[in-house]
Amino acid sequence: MPNFASPAIVLRRTDYGDYDLILTFFTLKKGKISAIAKSAKKSTKRFGGILELFSALDIVCSARMDRDLMVLQEAGLKNSFSGIRADLNKTAYASYLAELVNEWTEPDAKQEDLYLLLCHVFEQIDAGLISEEISAILFLMRFTSIAGIRPNLLKCSICRLELDKIKEDRVAFDLSRSGIICQKCAGRSVSRLSLSMGTIKQLLWVESGGLKKAGKMKFTPAAVKEGLDLLETFTTYHLGKEMRSLKFLKQIRKENRPPVY
C-alpha cells in the first residue's frame, strides 16, 4: 500500500509502551484513521513535540501494521491550537467536540464537510473570536445535518403543523420523535424538552447561514442554555451514551456558575 498523505486533526492520543504513541486522526482525505508514532516520546527531533491533542497537521502514513493501524512517518504542524489547551473551558469544549467526532464516525469514511467544520470551530475557539458556547452550538447544529440526524425544528413531528403557525411562545421537543411537537400533540409525548420560539428560530438560522455570519449570531443567555441543553441531550440520545468529555464539560460549567445568595 502506498503512503497516505493528508491534512489531519489529532482527536485522541494514547501512550503505547515507553516511547510510542497511538494517535487517532480525523483527516480531510480519509476520515478517521489510527496510526502509531514510533519513538514519539523518546525523540523530540523526529516529531518536535507537535503531536498534541487538537493540533492541525499535515501527516504522511505508511502501510498498515495490521488491519486497523498505520505508521506515522511524517508530520508537519499547520496550527497547534495552543490557545485551546491553555484554557480549561476551551479545552473542555474542544474535548467534547473531538470525542463526538471520534465516537460517531467510522474509520476510513471520508467526511470532508465535517473536517472543515471542525477546523473552523477549533480556529474560532482557539482565537477567542466567538464564545465556546456559540462555537459548540454552531458545530452541533451542523454536525446533526452531516450525520443525518438533524432535529426537526420546522413542523410538529406528529400533526405536521408548521412552526410559523404555532402560536405558543414555548414549544416542546420530543427526543423519541427527534422534533418539535405542538401544544395539541404534546400530551402524547414522554421524553420532552422545552424551547422558546426565539431559540428555535436562532438555531435554524445558525444551521443555514454562512459559517462566519452564523458565528456572530447574538444569543441571549437563556437561548444559549436552551440550545446547548437541546443539542447535547439530542446527540447523547442518538449516540446511546453520555461521553466522558461531556460529563467533564458539565462539571466545569457547574464550578463556573456564579453563586446564588
CATH no. of 102-256 = 1.20.1440.120
- Model's pTM, two decimal places? 0.91
Q: How far is CA 21 from CA 38, 39, 58, in A?
A: 7, 8, 17
Cell reading at 223: 437561548
Mean predicted confidence (pLDDT) in 187-199: 80
Q: How far is CA 172 from CA 45, 109, 181, 231, in A?
A: 56, 35, 6, 14
CATH no. of 4-80 = 2.40.50.140
Domain boundaries, given as residue ranges, for the chain: 4-80, 102-256
Please report which residue ranges of the chain form alpha helices under DSSP H: 44-47, 82-85, 88-104, 112-127, 132-147, 197-208, 211-215, 221-239, 244-256
Residue 5 has pLDDT above 70, yes or no: yes
Residues 6+ apart with CB under 8 A from 142: 117, 207
Residue 261 has pLDDT above 50, yes or no: no
- Residue pair 119/181 in contact (Cβ under 8 Å)? The answer is no
Task: Give residue 218's pLDDT.
Answer: 80
Distance CA 125, CA 86 (A): 12
The tens digit of pLDDT for each residue in 223-241 reads 999 999 999 999 999 999 9
